[in-house]
Amino acid sequence: MLDESILRSDYNRPNRACFLADCLRDLDARLRELGARLVIRRGHVPEVVAQLAEEHAAKEVHISSDVSSYAKGRETALRNSLRDNGRTLVIHDGVINVVSPGLLVPAARDHYAMFTPYFRRWSEAPMRSLASTPPRLRMPRIEPGTVPSASEICTGQPSSNLPPGGEQAARAKLDAWLSGPLRVYHRVYDSVADDATSRLSPHLHFGSLSATELVARTGRSSAGAHAFVRQLAWRDFFHQVLAARPSATSQDYRPRGGHWRTCDREMAAWRDGRTGFPIVDAGMRQLSVEGWMHNRARLIVASFLTKTLYLDWRWGARHFRDLLVDADMANNQLNWQWVAGTGTDSRPNRVLNPLLQARRYDPDGDYVRRYVPELADVPGAAVHMPWELRDRERARLDYPDPIVDLRQARARFLEARGKRRYDS
């Protein structure tokens, strides 16, 4: 069901439309192999689904639960519209998550606000068993509709180097991941230079890969597997926070009292990857070209926007949502809040210094050279501080000077938060 309200909203962006179109094509092909078809409808969900149920005398409609307030409102409207005709809506928990939101709660609270105790409980929770694929499917007589192309879902230019969507692509990626890189994940997951994470996030977001299956197949027998499963638990953690606090998509989860600055020039420099800090610019360029960014780079660019420039996290989250293929209301908004210090981070006033981060996670500058072509000829770690190159070399680079002084920015942040020094 293509939800017209979402298609018309600013959440519908070309990068995700491309991935979705791949997923739908792939799903239809898979269903055909089993003797069925993907039935596609587009419109106002409560009306169109109720009408389809009426035409085929379906007693029940089954859907997967979701946590955003929009999705909850849609569920209620659909339930009411089906109930008017004596039909039932059945909502399946845990299709998106390994452990459903609300299943694990601490004493006297409706959700976990800290990851570590949540993860402890999550690790002990019974995992659902995996269903096997049926050998054949029976299909009622029904007009399937046409599987749309990306341009029929959304207009606009997608990024040039997007990953392919669909279950087949997900399974190929998963098999390659489990048979090698997973083993060393715990050692390299933070290295932007190594680029050695799974890149499975778009598949988890679109459901072309099940998180439950991923955890089951990963196991917990090696240090790599353990670290990877721990990262997957962050997904469930943020979903359970958002399910309990739907307003956190736009309001501070923990208000800090400060007023964000606004500066169009700095926002544009951040968005375009022209801040003069190569590690920040590399992250932003990766986002623009691939519709994806390494997690460490996401942390660095988000800290730079919200703490170094002291600009509103909502603006950064919006830009991420425009481009990320894996953009997800819970993971995106709450990770942004985590970095901005208005979310669930227990050290809300820590600021990531982009130079120290660059030296640590891109020691030879490979990541920067990969994404910032103006700096491709600057060797080694010197690429992180182009302002220290000799005047003649520097004049040849079409690369901006830093837009901010890091020391002054740090002082401004601490003052705004009413602190003399960092709490970390």
Residues that bind ligand FAD (CB under 6 A): 189, 197-201, 204-205, 231-232, 234-235, 238, 295, 298-299, 302, 320, 324, 326-328, 331-332, 335-336, 339
Nearest Cα neighbor of 278 from 158, 390, 361, 395 is: 361
CA atoms of 111 and 103, how far apart (whole Å): 9
Going 116 to 120 to 123 to 125, the CA torsion angle's sign is: negative
HSE (side-chain half, CA atoms, 13 Å) at 224: 16
Tokens found for residue 200:
């499975």
Provide, rounded to whole angstroms, the least separation between the CB of residue 100 and ligand FAD: 16
> In the bound complex, what is the minimum distance in angstroms from residue 233's beta carbon to ligand FAD?
8
Rounded least distance, CB 76 to ligand FAD, Å: 25
Tokens of 222: 């090696």
SS3 2: strand
- Of the pair 174, 375, the CB lying nearest ligand FAD is at 174
| Smallest distance, ligand FAD to C-beta of residue 210, A | 12
Only one residue has tokens 């501070």, namely: 252
- Asked if 295 and 304 touch (Cβ cutoff 8 Å), the reply is no
Q: Which is nearer to ligand FAD, 89 or 182 (CB)?
A: 182
- Least separation in angstroms between CB 242 and ligand FAD: 11
Nearest distance, CB of residue 239 and ligand FAD, angstroms: 9
Return the SS3 of 157. Answer: coil
Q: Which is nearer to ligand FAD, 65 or 332 (CB)?
A: 332
- Which CB atom, from 53 or from 241, has the smaller least distance to ligand FAD? 241
CA–CA distance, 150 with 50 (Å, rounded to integer): 26
List, as residue ranges, the binding site. 185, 197-201, 228, 231-238, 326-328
Q: Please, what is the minimum distance in Å from the beta carbon of residue 398 to ligand FAD?
A: 28
DSSP readout, 82-139? Answer: HHTTT-EEEEETTSS-SS-TTSS--TT-SS-SSHHHHHHHHHHSPPPPPPPPPS----
Report the nearest approach of ligand FAD to the CB of residue 105 (Å).
20
Residue 221, Cα to own-chain centre: how many angstroms?
27
Question: Three-class SS of residue 60?
Answer: strand
With respect to ligand FAD, which residue has the nearer C-beta, 16 or 274?
16
Residue whose CB is less far from ligand FAD, 117 or 145: 117
> Tokens 């009411």, residue?
80
Nearer to ligand FAD, 197 or 357 (CB): 197
Minimum distance of ligand FAD from residue 165's CB (angstroms):
14
* Closer residue to ligand FAD (CB): 235 or 384: 235
- Which residues are documented as binding site for FAD? 185, 197-201, 228, 231-238, 326-328
Residue 259 identity (one-letter amino acid): H
Which one, 81 or 308, has the nearer CB to ligand FAD? 308
Distance between CA atoms of 280 and 97, rounded to whole angstroms? 31
Beta bridge partners of 43: 3
d(CA 215, CA 210): 9
**Could you tell me if 158 and 18 are in contact, meaning their C-beta atoms sit under 8 angstroms apart?**
yes
Residues 6 or more apart in contact with residue 7 via CB below 8 angstroms = 42, 153, 154
